[in-house]
Amino acid sequence: MPSRKLITAIATPAVLTLASVAPALSTTPVSTASAAAAPAQAPRPNLVFIMADDLGWADLSTGLTNGGYGNDYNETPRIDQLAEEGQVFTEAYASVQCSPTRTALHTGQYATRPTNNVYAVGAVTGPASAPLRGVTQGRLGEDGRTAVPVGYQTLGETLQKAGYATGYSGKFHVAGSAEEIVTGHGFDENWGGSQNSHATYYFATNDQFNDSVSPSLDQFAGDYTQAYVDENIAPYSVGVSEAQLDALVGTDKHVTDAQTDAALDFMDRSKDEPFLAWVSEFAPHFPVNNAQARSDLLAKYQAKTAGQSPAKPSYGALTEGVDQSVARIVDYLEETPDPRNGGKPLADNTVVIFTSDNGGEEDPVNSGADNGPLREDKGQMYEGGIRVPWIVWSKNADLVRGGGRSNETIINSTDLYTTLASYAQAALPAGVPMDGIDLTPAFGKGTKINRTHFHHLPGYVGVQRPSSLVRDGRWKLYYQYTDGSFALYDLSKDLGETTDLAAQKPGLVHQLGEQLITWLDETDAPLATLRAGQPTRVIEGFTGTTYADGEVTRHRGDTLTIAAGDPVPFVLPKP
């Protein structure tokens, strides 16, 4: 199905304050019954969550999701169509890498919570030469392997308790094993998900994927047949010859197609009850090279003329493969009668969300993503590392107010839990702090919700050092623990974070710093410590506020002493 003409008119949403939606740091469960977005008497909606892996902010060909920086090389017509028909969130955040994003999605909590405690894919302790030592994260030991705590009630378990069928397709990563996804994290079925961080090879061999993909997906790993190509690939192909499509017959199945097959099979078997289909794409995560791309799409991009965006044929092919996955899912929803809703199409009572798990990796050798004007990429706390596309779509205007509407609500991964629980009219776990807010007023009415976003890394990820940040409206404040420095950016004028305004606006730095200290305290954020062998740090005559050891302290002319092994505090001088 071809893409429709982009809608350029953007509606201005109403504004709703955070206090009238859900307190982000409250330990009281959020009531969801009154916030359910489905129309009266309608059955509870089906929920489909689709997440690409390492897709850059400017990798989609639409400009609706990224401030007009659509990609002129990659082609994503059906994701573009979702944006045109649905609602896009231009201020959406994930984490610096995939595992903290995934843990936040499943728990509804920031990484700073002890029941989350996932900050990166591997250990964040840092090199021996680093002045600070990062924390020990996760629950699987000193090597930094990360996993959602088994005893925690995940989003999947919450929806299970509310009567939803739950199915998982694709990369999971934050589990101790493939079996744990079903036994401990709330999914009735799992195809391909495991503790592994990515698919090391995208194709099946002899009807089996390699051991980076759970063997549960192998039942969908059979070679391409003519019937399969005609039904599932040809209808979504643009700029691909009939001969290139025919050449797929008898060749190995691509993992993107297999996991889409699994998701569709689950939805078809589960449509007699409300369902959650979680589709976690392996693509376009590295390795990104010609051997990983489906041959018809690779040939298309190899023949394509480059524009202004990065032009890597294998990356374009993997990205369009994800687009075809989305197309097949949406077509199924639009064409399949809903037995719970009078035979209307499933799309009339389904909410679809599309996003990415972190910023794209702009490595032309191993990846090939594009974050457009955003600074840096995956692994860093600048916008290029954590800002992601976010699209929500439904054929039911009561569920999603669409029409290409742009919404500037600042959202992050923790919001998925509370939002899907609200749609499902599911009770949140009692006595558990939930950091996400209920986005159904934004999804269903186009309301802009004013809220503050935080991020904290008490360790090292590549070149990223221990840092915290707060985003409040147009302003973004960074704090670096290694040297106690602040940086302030006005994202409304400086999306690329090129001009540090901290020295010019000390009062605003202090105001945002107080918000950040309050959040660190309320979430019991752990801190990196001064590494053994480092000289003791002394700050004399300090007046201001510090956070360390789970406490906020006000100082007036005090001497601060930080010895090896001590947590290095957040230090906010009085302006």
Catalytic residue ranges: 98, 173
**Read out DSSP for 38-74?**
SPTTPPPPEEEEEEESS--TT-SS-STTTTT---SSS
Q: Phi and psi dihedrals of 494, rounded to 5? A: -140, 65
Residue 83, token pair as written in the block: 């944006």
170: left (phi over 0), alpha (psi -120 to 50) or beta: left
**Could you tell me how many helices (H) and strands (E) the chain has, helices first?**
13, 21
CA distances from 567 to 131, 181, 459, 519, 531 (A): 12, 35, 12, 17, 9
The span from the CA of 112 to the CA of 516, in Å, is 13
Whether residue 333 contacts residue 82, with contact meaning beta carbons closer than 8 Å, is answered with no
Helix axes 98-107, 415-424, angle to 10 degrees: 30
Q: Is the dihedral of CA 256, 258, 263, 267 positive or negative?
A: positive
Residue whose entry in the numeric block shows the structure tokens 């996003």: 355
The span from the CA of 85 to the CA of 79, in Å, is 10
Residue whose entry in the numeric block shows the structure tokens 């990563």: 173
Peptide bond into 13 cis (omega under 30): no
**CB neighbours of residue 450 within 10 Å:** 16
Provide the Cα torsion 257, 259, 260, 263; round to 10°: 160
**CB neighbours of residue 331 within 10 Å:** 16
Angle subtended at Cα 111 by Cα 475 and Cα 473, rounded to the nearest 5 degrees: 15
The span from the CA of 70 to the CA of 297, in Å, is 20
